[in-house]
Each structure stands twice: as structure tokens, then as C-alpha cells.
């Protein structure tokens, strides 16, 4: 029955009894702002606003049941057997769900409280975005994090703890208040815990922000909770943590306790994430570079989505972490690069390694489910196969000469599970079921007693088969059969026409059931054989369950070592995947320099290139060369000319290089970047839905405050979000400040042609443009970055390219000619800029811009005012001018 049909049927049932509503409300109070799944028989029902919200999200019928305060009570429901898929949709839509189960049978309720007694119900679990372990509810290739923010009064820093309970990874970091957004953007938690007394929420918001009691954010309580969670006397063994860090971690532990209502959770000992060894990338930069997801929130179309060739889910998660958090430690980057390099050089080895990794199951998440008590035989088999595979892999890898140092260090981490793998291999059948209830997953030969029980059951079934032949002989009924079903168990079945013979009292058969065509009987020897089979079966299932528990225990007790091995496998997968992608796309190994340079030849934008390749177009590679003496490139040129692409590709090359990957270029050399900034002018950034000039300026201010000489900044059309004069003035002063004060490497794209005059005063600034040509009246964008300023903006040609009607474009040409003529006369837009006091004290006289005489001559012609003879003169003059310009190469 569909959810819709069922709720409709239910609405005709008796009106809700008051005791039920009372029970409902007391559970709802505990559920707080979570939707309450209220178990009624085979359904979870939702009432009131919960029902409305769920019906809207799930697109199921909203009905009603009884009345409350004179109003019908809105209701909807989902079948228990398919609840998971509904849960997944609710969670994805941003809800949290409390599951209230029946904790006694109706019979027990009657025995307890009489015939009218209500079945007792309790919330057994909360299902929330950050605390999922179910395979069906998780996206395998992304991490799923729960984060908590805490600040302890005396400390200036804010601590952020983050846990992925599907893999047990638990990290903590303490940052300055202004870095909270950047850290949260890196972690991208799906659920964020803050104290209910916290005043300011971070600007960066998780899909869900959950306020929890302040007591759960105290460092004292947190300490105790963590000590008991990890069963240690003191946390000192894991490192020295600040009180804020302990409070944040404690809040996570408390919340897990709350949502699991006491069940086990899987957390590895916390690791302190050191922001110091990492490139600082703030939230706006992360968003605009689309490192691990696009602005629209998809993985597809991001840098990660484009280059991800990992073959395991854990590898995919690690690659996302790597790209989200590039390194700044030269040694660590070189270690990664050496490994990728070795794998890039040896295609055969790489292929073998990837094939071996591809065959391995996601042991990390299987372990997570086992620790959480939601694991089963299939999870143990996944551990067996993954760890067994890891052991073989280590043996094969260890035989290679010249292991890259990182690999040599990683290999031992794959070892040490021999006893567990052997045990699991002996204990489990090849592919055990997910669910343990029916048994049948423990292998023959593992437990003699279990084998004996199975033997007994088998013998019993053989005896039953033999009985069938004997009964046929005895009764002479050839169509007599022994059958089995859930209600009668084993029984004798004969067609109705033969039933009489068996009905006779001396026949040895007892009548059980008469159906349309057949009649069913029991017999004492059959009953005996059948109960031997059943009993042996029950005992066998129990014996298997005991083994399952012991094996789970054995695996769980080694959880930290297993998780460490999973990390090693993921690292190998990432290195091999990066090598594979690099080889098939002609990427190169970047060189790390000690001076703050950025030298790229033949650089490409991997995402744009991939998109172009799909439509058979070629990406035009471009070079960049920044150094201390030439650290700021001002890039001008027509719209759609490739400015934004050029800026971003260089930022992505920096990210890839410091993540330890090869880069999309023919060659690349860079001095390590400590902070990376990317800003896109407000009007170019409509996708963000808050395209205010204010945001743009706040974000730009952050760069001016934070960028160091080791930083790399891309500024794309900054100042564009306001009227021309303001925008130009701001862009001008931002360039000056970046050049004079921050002294970072910077690429600045602008359509303000006037900015090119900055080259006269700022000696580490140089001018570049994306090339374009007009050919037979059409604009051809070459997407080539060249030296010098763009000669003009080609705005009208772009408009024509974009399909603006020819008449409108012609009219615009006339207007433009007037404007430009006016500018020549008055000094134009940039006229007042010479007097700027800030950094412009030495701006030289503007060089005489090469006037376009032909246009000017055209502009001053007023055809209506010309005599025929004058018109002819004018025509000759124009023709002459044209010939001169052609001659000078224009």
C-alpha cells in the first residue's frame, strides 16, 4: 500500500484518543525542532506542522486524523520498510528527524495497563545530516562532517571541532575569530553545533545550525565526556588541547550521545589540524575558485569533479581534503610530488596499483557502522577483503626498488591485521548477507558445534524427504507432498479428493487445514523430524550471532589501526589518480622556488578546457611570469576575451601544486603561497545571490588587511559593482595599495582602460591584455594573453557577437564616437586622476593617446548640413585617412 493510500484509509479510523495525543506531545517536546516519526504499526506517522513540512518535501498526501482543539489534525505517514529513502530526502532538504519506536508489544501493553492501554513509545534515535552512518543516506565520495564551535571566556581564539562519524575522523583547530568562516568553508560541515548562548553566528552557515545547551560546551564536562568516550585517564596522550578545543570536542561528543541516545559512536582520537602548515584560503576565495564544489553546490564542474580519477570512495574524500587545504611546507609537498611523479613515470605499476585499489571495499565506513552497532556480516566481509587486499598490496609494493620516501613511510601502516584477516577469512562465507537475522554467514568448518547443528538440520530435512516417499507408499497417493510454510511449519498436503483416506482416525495423520483444492495434515513422525530441524536451525542462528558479536568486537578493538590503514590506501589512491590524470592530460610536475615567483608556461584552466573539449574546441594555453620586480599584472581586453579564465587558471595551478599534484601547464615554477585570495566583482558574481557592492568591498578590505608578500591574489573586475566613477576610483586605489603595501603577487583584470596609466607610476606593475581582432566586421577573440594594454574595449563588437540588433549597434557606434570626441577635448574619465594624493605623486604626463582620426573625422560630419561639393570633399578626406591608417598597420 502506498503512503498516500494508507494515510487516506487511516483518516477514516476512530478519532485520536486523548492519551495518544498526550504521549505524542511529550515525545514531540523531546524531539524539539526535529520532525517526529511516530511509529504506529507498519508506519511512521507525522502530525501537525511536522506532517505539513514532510508532506511538502516528500510530495505525499497530507490527510488528517481526529481533532485537536476543534481542528482536524494534519497527518501523513511513510511505511517503515521504506523509511530510509524518505529519511534521506528529508535530511537532504534540511530537516532533522526523531524516531519514536514502539518499545512494547500491544499484548505487553494490555498486560501492563488493561485493554485500553497505549503502547509505550520512546525516541530511540535522531537522524541528522551530520550524524549519519547508513550507507544509503551517505554520499560515498564526500566526507560528511558534524562541527561544533566553542569559545572559552578567557581565550581569544575560537575552537572548531569536526567529526566524520562515518569514518571516525575527528579533528580540531583553534583560529582567530576572523578566520572562523574560512575554516568552516574548508570543512563544509553538513551540521554545525553552537551554544544556545552564543551571540553571533558565523557568516558561513552549515546546511543546518543547531543550538545546544550551553552546558554541553563547557571544557570541564567535555574533558570527562571525552575521557570516557576514549576510555583514557587523560587526554594528554592525544596532544595538548586548549580549553576551547576540549569544549568544542566535548560538544560533539555530547551531541552524538544525544542523537544516538546512548548508542556507541565511532570517533578516532582527535587530531589537531594545524592551520599553520596550510595555505590560508578564505570562504569567498574558496567559493569563487570552485575548488571542491561549484557555486551552484555541485561536485560536477568543480576542480575536484574535473580531475578526480580516484578509484575508491576514501580516495575521493581525501582528494577533496587535499584540494581544500593545500600545504605550505615544502618538504611535505615534495614528498607528495615525488610519489605522484614515480607513479606518473611507470604506467604499468600505476595500472596495477589502481586495479588493486579499485577491488577494495570502503573499509573505513564499514568500520564506522560496526563501531556504531549498525554493522553486519557484510561489513565484516568488507574489512576482511580490504585489509587482506592491503596486505597483498604492501607485499607487492615492498618488493619495488627505489620506493619514494613517502611510500616507504606509509607502507608499514598497511600491516598488522594478519590475525584479524585470517580469523575473518576462516569465519565468514565469501559474500555474507547484509542482515544477520537469517544466519548462514558463518563458514563451514569454523565452528564444529555449529557444523553439527547444521548437520542435524540437514539430516532432518533428508529424513523429511524420506518420509514423503514412505507416506506415498503407505497411502498410495502419488500426489502427496510434504510442504513448509511459516504458519504450519512442515505438513503433509494432498489434493482434496484424496483427503478422506487421511481423515480416518487410524491413518496416523491429524487434520490441520482445508483449503479450496488441498487439505493439510500433520503426523507425529513428521512433527518429530520437523522440530529437530527447527531447533537445530534456531540454535545455529544463535551460534552465528555469538560469532558475529565476537568478530565485531575483534574488529572494533583494532579500529584505530584499521582506520590508519584506510588512510594509507586513500593516499595511494590519490597519488595514483593524480598521476593518471596528469599523464592523460599532459600536466607537468611543478618546481618549487624560494623566491616569490610564479612562472607558468602553457598554463590551462582544467575545468574550462574540459568543457571546451566536449564541444571539440581547443583551449589556448597562456603564460604568466610574476616576480618580485614584476609582481602585479593588469589584464585588460574585451569581454569574453578570457581574462577571468586566465586569472583563475593561475590560482588553480597554485592550489594544485601545493596540494602535491601535477599542474595543467607545460612547465611551472612557483614560490610557496601562504595565502590565496580571489575576488570577483559583484556584477560578475550574480550566482551568489547577494551581488551587493558592500560584500565586494568587505571582501576586498580583507585582502588589503591580510595579503603578505608571499600571498597570491586575483582580482577580477573589482569595483564593477558600482557606478563608473566610484568603481574606477576604488579599483585604482586597490591596485595601488596591493602594489605598495601588500606587495603580493597579483593578477588584476579590469575593463577600466584608464587603470593602464598606473603602469607609469607603479614599477612592479605591468600591462597585459587578452588579444582580439576584428575581421570583416566580426570580432575574433583569440584568448591569448599578450603584453601591453588592450587598444580598445571592443564592447560594440562583443554586442554584435552577442546578437544585439545591427541598428542598435550602429546607433551605439555613433554615440561612442561623440563620447570619445568629448573625452579628447575635456580629458575624459581619467582626467582628474593626476591629482590623486595617495601614491600618485609622480604620475607623468599622459602620453598622447593615438587618436583614431578616421572616427573623429566621421563623428564631426553632419550630413544634413553639407552641400554636395562639401560631401564629396569629406568622402575624399575619409578615404585618405583610411589609406593612412591601413598603411600604418591599423
Q: Interface residues with ligand ADP (CB under 6 A)?
A: 608, 612, 619-620, 622, 639-645, 770, 783
- Residue 857 binding target from ligand ADP, Mg ion, none, CB below 5 to 8 Å by type: none
Sign of CA dihedral 481, 482, 486, 487: positive
Cα–Cα distance between 47 and 352 in angstroms, integer? 56
169 versus 643: smaller Cβ distance to ligand ADP: 643
Partners of 171 in the β-ladder:
162, 271
Binding of Mg ion by 644 (CB under 5 A): yes
Cα–Cα distance between 266 and 264 in angstroms, integer? 7
63 versus 722: smaller Cβ distance to Mg ion: 722
- Residue 100 binding target from ligand ADP, Mg ion, none, CB below 5 to 8 Å by type: none
What nine digits make up the cell of 150? Answer: 566553542
Cα–Cα distance between 422 and 244 in angstroms, integer? 44
Nearest-approach distance from CB 307 to Mg ion, in angstroms: 23
Cα–Cα distance between 399 and 409 in angstroms, integer? 14
Alpha helices in 59-170 (DSSP H): 83-92, 106-113
Nearest-approach distance from CB 715 to Mg ion, in angstroms: 11
244 versus 642: smaller Cβ distance to ligand ADP: 642
554 versus 782: smaller Cβ distance to ligand ADP: 782
- Residue 645 binding target from Mg ion, ligand ADP, none, CB below 5 to 8 Å by type: ligand ADP
Give, in degrees to the nearest 5, the angle at Cα 275 between 405 and 687: 110
Q: Which stretch, 39-47, 67-75, 290-298, 641-649, contacts Mg ion (CB under 5 A)?
A: 641-649
Report the site for Mg ion in 32-61 (rule: CB under 5 A).
none
- Residue 195 binding target from ligand ADP, Mg ion, none, CB below 5 to 8 Å by type: none
- Residue 608 binding target from ligand ADP, Mg ion, none, CB below 5 to 8 Å by type: ligand ADP
Nearest-approach distance from CB 821 to ligand ADP, in angstroms: 27
Nearest-approach distance from CB 610 to Mg ion, in angstroms: 19
Helix, strand, or coil here: 305?
helix
Helix 418-427 with 524-557: angle, nearest 10 deg? 170
Nearest-approach distance from CB 668 to ligand ADP, in angstroms: 16
Pairing of strands 745-749, 632-636: parallel
Nearest-approach distance from CB 652 to ligand ADP, in angstroms: 13
Nearest-approach distance from CB 795 to ligand ADP, in angstroms: 11
- Residue 130 binding target from ligand ADP, Mg ion, none, CB below 5 to 8 Å by type: none
- Residue 642 binding target from ligand ADP, Mg ion, none, CB below 5 to 8 Å by type: ligand ADP
Give the nearest residue (CB) to Mg ion: 644
Partners of 149 in the β-ladder:
160
- Residue 817 binding target from Mg ion, ligand ADP, none, CB below 5 to 8 Å by type: none
- Residue 189 binding target from ligand ADP, Mg ion, none, CB below 5 to 8 Å by type: none
Nearest-approach distance from CB 659 to ligand ADP, in angstroms: 23
Q: Which stretch, 2-10, 168-176, 276-284, 640-648, contacts Mg ion (CB under 5 A)?
A: 640-648
- Residue 639 binding target from Mg ion, ligand ADP, none, CB below 5 to 8 Å by type: ligand ADP
Q: With contact defined as beta carbons under 8 Å apart, do 143 and 169 qualify?
A: yes
644 versus 756: smaller Cβ distance to Mg ion: 644
What nine digits make up the cell of 327? Answer: 600545504
Cα–Cα distance between 339 and 575 in angstroms, integer? 7
Give the DSSP per-residue string, 617-686. Answer: PPP--EEEEEBTTB-EEEEE--TTSSHHHHHHHHHHHHHHHHTT--BSSSEEEEEPPSEEEEEE-GGG-G
Give the side-chain half-sphere CA count within 13 A for 529: 21
443 versus 640: smaller Cβ distance to Mg ion: 640
- Residue 631 binding target from Mg ion, ligand ADP, none, CB below 5 to 8 Å by type: none
Give the DSSP per-residue string, 486-521. Answer: TTTEEEEEEEGGGHHHHHSGGGSEEEEEE-SSEEEE
644 versus 650: smaller Cβ distance to Mg ion: 644
707 versus 714: smaller Cβ distance to ligand ADP: 714
- Residue 768 binding target from ligand ADP, Mg ion, none, CB below 5 to 8 Å by type: none
At 779, which helix (H) or strand (E)?
Answer: strand 778-787
Size of the site for Mg ion (CB under 5 A): 2
Q: Which stretch, 5-13, 107-115, 522-530, 636-644, contacts Mg ion (CB under 5 A)?
A: 636-644
Partners of 633 in the β-ladder:
747, 766
Closest listed residue to residue 35, CA positions, set 56, 18, 10: 56
Nearest-approach distance from CB 602 to ligand ADP, in angstroms: 11
Cα–Cα distance between 658 and 648 in angstroms, integer? 15
CB atoms within 10 A of CB 445: 10
Cα–Cα distance between 168 and 229 in angstroms, integer? 13
457 versus 714: smaller Cβ distance to Mg ion: 714
Closest listed residue to residue 350, CA positions, set 16, 134, 65, 574: 574
Q: Which stretch, 134-142, 153-161, 242-250, 635-643, contacts Mg ion (CB under 5 A)?
A: 635-643
What nine digits make up the cell of 422? Answer: 585470517
The CA-atom distances, in angstroms, between 601 and each of 405, 625, 626, 635, 654 are 29, 8, 12, 17, 13
The CA-atom distances, in angstroms, between 852 and each of 212, 337, 636, 884 are 69, 53, 20, 11
- Residue 316 binding target from Mg ion, ligand ADP, none, CB below 5 to 8 Å by type: none
Cα–Cα distance between 557 and 383 in angstroms, integer? 13
Give the nearest residue (CB) to ligand ADP: 642
Partners of 242 in the β-ladder:
none
Nearest-approach distance from CB 613 to ligand ADP, in angstroms: 10
Nearest-approach distance from CB 634 to Mg ion, in angstroms: 14
Nearest-approach distance from CB 750 to ligand ADP, in angstroms: 10
145 versus 643: smaller Cβ distance to Mg ion: 643
- Residue 620 binding target from ligand ADP, Mg ion, none, CB below 5 to 8 Å by type: ligand ADP
Q: With contact defined as beta carbons under 8 Å apart, do 216 and 250 qualify?
A: yes
439 versus 603: smaller Cβ distance to ligand ADP: 603
Helix, strand, or coil here: 795?
helix
The pair phi, psi for residue 251, each rounded to 5°, is -65, -35
Cα–Cα distance between 291 and 659 in angstroms, integer? 12
147 versus 289: smaller Cβ distance to Mg ion: 289
Closest listed residue to residue 392, CA positions, set 443, 438, 340, 356: 356
Nearest-approach distance from CB 690 to ligand ADP, in angstroms: 21
CB atoms within 10 A of CB 705: 10
310 versus 644: smaller Cβ distance to Mg ion: 644
Q: Is residue 212 classed exposed, middle or buried when 0-12, 13-18 and 19+ CB atoms within 10 A define those classes?
A: middle
Nearest-approach distance from CB 579 to Mg ion, in angstroms: 33
714 versus 765: smaller Cβ distance to ligand ADP: 714
- Residue 583 binding target from Mg ion, ligand ADP, none, CB below 5 to 8 Å by type: none
202 versus 641: smaller Cβ distance to ligand ADP: 641
At 593, which helix (H) or strand (E)?
Answer: strand 591-593
- Residue 450 binding target from ligand ADP, Mg ion, none, CB below 5 to 8 Å by type: none
Nearest-approach distance from CB 600 to Mg ion, in angstroms: 19
202 versus 642: smaller Cβ distance to ligand ADP: 642
Q: Which stretch, 45-53, 201-209, 320-328, 642-650, contacts Mg ion (CB under 5 A)?
A: 642-650
Interacting residues toward Mg ion by CB under 5 A: 643-644
Amino acid at each position: 500500500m502506498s503512503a498516500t493510500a494508507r494515510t487516506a484509509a487511516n483518516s477514516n479510523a476512530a478519532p485520536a484518543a486523548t492519551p495518544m495525543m498526550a504521549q505524542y506531545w511529550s515525545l514531540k517536546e523531546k524531539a524539539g525542532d526535529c520532525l517526529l516519526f511516530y511509529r504506529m504499526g507498519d508506519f511512521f506517522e507525522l502530525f501537525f506542522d511536522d506532517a505539513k513540512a514532510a508532506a511538502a518535501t516528500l510530495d505525499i498526501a497530507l490527510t488528517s486524523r481526529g481533532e485537536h482543539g476543534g481542528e482536524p489534525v494534519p497527518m501523513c505517514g511513510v511505511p517503515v520498510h521504506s523509511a530510509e529513502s524518505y529519511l534521506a530526502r528529508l535530511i537532504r532538504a534540511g530537516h532533522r528527524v526523531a524516531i519514536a519506536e514502539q518499545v512494547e508489544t500491544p499484548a505487553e501493553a494490555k498486560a501492563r495497563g488493561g485493554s485500553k492501554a497505549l503502547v509505550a513509545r520512546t525516541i530511540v534515535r535522531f537522524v541528522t545530516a551530520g550524524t549519519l552512518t547508513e550507507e544509503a543516506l551517505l554520499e560515498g565520495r564526500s566526507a560528511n562532517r558534524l562541527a561544533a564551535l566553542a569559545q572559552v571566556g578567557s581565550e581569544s581564539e575560537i575552537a572548531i571541532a569536526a567529526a566524520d562519524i562515518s569514518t571516525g575522523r575527528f579533528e580540531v583547530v583553534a583560529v582567530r575569530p576572523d578566520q572562523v568562516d574560512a575554516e568552516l568553508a574548508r570543512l563544509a560541515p553538513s551540521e554545525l553545533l553552537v551554544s544556545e548562548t552564543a551571540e553571533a553566528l558565523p557568516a558561513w552557515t552549515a546546511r543546518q545550525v543547531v543550538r545546544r545547551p550551553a552546558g554541553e560546551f563547557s571544557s570541564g564536562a567535555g574533558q570527562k565526556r571525552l575521557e570516557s568516550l576514549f576510555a583514557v585517564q587523560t587526554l594528554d596522550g592525544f596532544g595538548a588541547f586548549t580549553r576551547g578545543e576540549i569544549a568544542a570536542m566535548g560538544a560533539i561528543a555530547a551531541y552524538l550521545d544525544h542523537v544516538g541516545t546512548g548508542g556507541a559512536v565511532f570517533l578516532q582520537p582527535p587530531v589537531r589540524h594545524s592551520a599553520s602548515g596550510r595555505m590560508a584560503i578564505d570562504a569567498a576565495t574558496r567559493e569563487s575558485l570552485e575548488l571542491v564544489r561549484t557555486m551552484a553546490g555541485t561536485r560536477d564542474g568543480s576542480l575536484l569533479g574535473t580531475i578526480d580519477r580516484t578509484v575508491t570512495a576514501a580516495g575521493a574524500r581525501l582528494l577533496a581534503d587535499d584540494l581544500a587545504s593545500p600545504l605550505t611546507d615544502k618538504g611535505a609537498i615534495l614528498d607528495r610530488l615525488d610519489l605522484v611523479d614515480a607513479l606518473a613515470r611507470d604506467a604499468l605499476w600505476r595500472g596495477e596499483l589502481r586495479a588493486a585499489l579499485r577491488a577494495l571495499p570502503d573499509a573505513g565506513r564499514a568500520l564506522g557502522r560496526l563501531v556504531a552497532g549498525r554493522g553486519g556480516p557484510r561489513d565484516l566481509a568488507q574489512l576482511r577483503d580490504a585489509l587482506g587486499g592491503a596486505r597483498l598490496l604492501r607485499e607487492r609494493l615492498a618488493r619495488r626498488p627505489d620506493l619514494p620516501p613517502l611510500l616507504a613511510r606509509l607502507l608499514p601502516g598497511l600491516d598488522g591485521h594478519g590475525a584479524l584477516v585470517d580469523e575473518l577469512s576462516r569465519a565468514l562465507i565469501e559474500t555474507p548477507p547484509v542482515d544477520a537475522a537469517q544466519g548462514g554467514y558463518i563458514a563451514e568448518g569454523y565452528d564444529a558445534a555449529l557444523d553439527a547443528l547444521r548437520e542435524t538440520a540437514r539430516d532432518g530435512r533428508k529424513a523429511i524427504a524420506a518420509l514423503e516417499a514412505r507416506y506415498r507408499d503407505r497411502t498410495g497417493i502419488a500426489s502427496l507432498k510434504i510442504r513448509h510454510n511459516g504458519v504450519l511449519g512442515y505438513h503433509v498436503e494432498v489434493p482434496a479428493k484424496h483427503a478422506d483416506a487421511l481423515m480416518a482416525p487410524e491413518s496416523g495423520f491429524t487434520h490441520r487445514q482445508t483449503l479450496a483444492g488441498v487439505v493439510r495434515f500433520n503426523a507425529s513422525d513428521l512433527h518429530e523430524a520437523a522440530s529437530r530441524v527447527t531447533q537445530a536451525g534456531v540454535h545455529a542462528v544463535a551460534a552465528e550471532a555469538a560469532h558475529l558479536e565476537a568478530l565485531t568486537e575483534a574488529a572494533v578493538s583494532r579500529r584505530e589501526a584499521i582506520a590508519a590503514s584506510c588512510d594509507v590506501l586513500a593516499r595511494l589512491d590519490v597519488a595514483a589518480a593524480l598521476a593518471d590524470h596528469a599523464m592523460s592530460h599532459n600536466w607537468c610536475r611543478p618546481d618549487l622556488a624560494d623566491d616569490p615567483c610564479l612562472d607558468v608556461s602553457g598554463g590551462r584552466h582544467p575545468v574550462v578546457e574540459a568543457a571546451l573539449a566536449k564541444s571539440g574546441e581547443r583551449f589556448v594555453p597562456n603564460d604568466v611570469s610574476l616576480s618580485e620586480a614584476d609582481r602585479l599584472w593588469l589584464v585588460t581586453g574585451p569581454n569574453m576575451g578570457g581574462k577571468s579564465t586566465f586569472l583563475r587558471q593561475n590560482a588553480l595551478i597554485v592550489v594544485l601544486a601545493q596540494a602535491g599534484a601535477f599542474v595543467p601547464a607545460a612547465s611551472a615554477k612557483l614560490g610557496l603561497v601562504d595565502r590565496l585570495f580571489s575576488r570577483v566583482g559583484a556584477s560578475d558574481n550574480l550566482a551568489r545571490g547577494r551581488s551587493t557592492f558592500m560584500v565586494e568591498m568587505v571582501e576586498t578590505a580583507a585582502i588589503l588587511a591580510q595579503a603578505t608578500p608571499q600571498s597570491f591574489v586575483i582580482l577580477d573586475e573589482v569595483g564593477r559593482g558600482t557606478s563608473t566613477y566610484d568603481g574606477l576610483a576604488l579599483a585604482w586605489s586597490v591596485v595601488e595599495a596591493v602594489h605598495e603595501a601588500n606587495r603580493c603577487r597579483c593578477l588584476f583584470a579590469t575593463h577600466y582602460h584608464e587603470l593602464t596609466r598606473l603602469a607609469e607610476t607603479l614599477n612592479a606593475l605591468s600591462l597585459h591584455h587578452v588579444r582580439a581582432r576584428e575581421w570583416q566586421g566580426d570580432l575574433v577573440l583569440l584568448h591569448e594573453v599578450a603584453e601591453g594594454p588592450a587598444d580598445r574595449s571592443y564592447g560594440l563588437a562583443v554586442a554584435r557577437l552577442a546578437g544585439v540588433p545591427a541598428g542598435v549597434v550602429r546607433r551605439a557606434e555613433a554615440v561612442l564616437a561623440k563620447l570619445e570626441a568629448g573625452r579628447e577635448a575635456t580629458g575624459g574619465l581619467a582626467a582628474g586622476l593626476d591629482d590623486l594624493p595617495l601614491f600618485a605623486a609622480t604620475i607623468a604626463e599622459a602620453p598622447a593617446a593615438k587618436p583614431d582620426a578616421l572616427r573623429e573625422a566621421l563623428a564631426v560630419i553632419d550630413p544634413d548640413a553639407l552641400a554636395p561639393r562639401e560631401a564629396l570633399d569629406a568622402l575624399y578626406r575619409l578615404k585618405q585617412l583610411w589609406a593612412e591608417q591601413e598603411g600604418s598597420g591599423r
